[in-house]
A and B are shown apart, each in its own frame.
Chain A
Amino acid sequence: EDQVTQSPEALRLQEGESSSLNCSYTVSGLRGLFWYRQDPGKGPEFLFTLYSAGEEKEKERLKATLTKKESFLHITAPKPEDSATYLCAVLLRAQKLVFGQGTRLTINP
């Protein structure tokens, strides 16, 4: 069975304290991996797409990386406005998308 697991479930950091979120997957036929950000009361907002192991993408304080078994979302010197739930999703054959349960990130000023 295709499975996507995100850890930790929740993470609380001080402003400026860097950390990483993990997305590990056990799937057959990975076609790509997406990272999304979700704010309360809103739909997920696209951040990054990664298609192959070794690929990296960067945007402001966020950097996403991909290996054959997992992806990391690195957050460098976060600010309170980075507080949100971060979701990863793996793209499988037949354009099926499977999401992880998300990591709820809180950045304290």
Chain B
Amino acid sequence: EAQVTQNPRYLITVTGKKLTVTCSQNMNHEYMSWYRQDPGLGLRQIYYSMNVEVTDKGDVPEGYKVSRKEKRNFPLILESPSPNQTSLYFCASSFRGNQPQHFGDGTRLSIL
């Protein structure tokens, strides 16, 4: 089954404790992206990657890091999480950036 898999689905942690949210897709997609979704603000793009070893900033990259060492994986790293990063995060992928994206089911992060 074609899918985008995020882990964990839920996480409660504390300020400053580094965390990684993994994202994996099994569709051989070149393009992958991370979004955060907040009430009243909609989905906002954090980082995206057009291919292996190619990443670029979206609208809200501050406080986040990404890497794309393999085509299927695109982890999101919060080196020193803060409470304002409490949000619902989505990973998505597509064959190319100008094509519809498939989304994972989301990761709900709470930073205390």
Contact = CB atoms under 8 A, between A and B. Distances in A.
B48 A96 contact: yes
B42 A95 contact: no
Given A42-B106, A95-B31, A87 B42 contact: yes
A43 B104 contact: yes
B12 interface: no
A102 B98 contact: no
Contact of B42 (A31, A46, A99): A99
Interface in B40-79: 40-45, 48, 50, 56, 58-59
Which range holds the interface residue count of chain A?
Answer: 20 to 34
A101 B42 contact: yes
Nearest to A48: B100
A101 B48 contact: no
30 contacts: A31-B98, A34-B100, A34-B101, A36-B103, A41-B105, A43-B104, A43-B106, A44-B103, A45-B103, A46-B100, A46-B101, A46-B102, A49-B99, A87-B43, A91-B97, A94-B56, A95-B31, A95-B50, A95-B96, A95-B97, A95-B98, A96-B45, A96-B58, A97-B97, A99-B35, A99-B42, A99-B44, A100-B42, A101-B41, A101-B42
Contacts, number: 56
Nearest to B6: A43
A87 B45 CA distance: 14
A53 B42 CA distance: 25
Nearest to A32: B98
Interface in B79-109: 90, 92, 96-106
Contacts of B31: 95
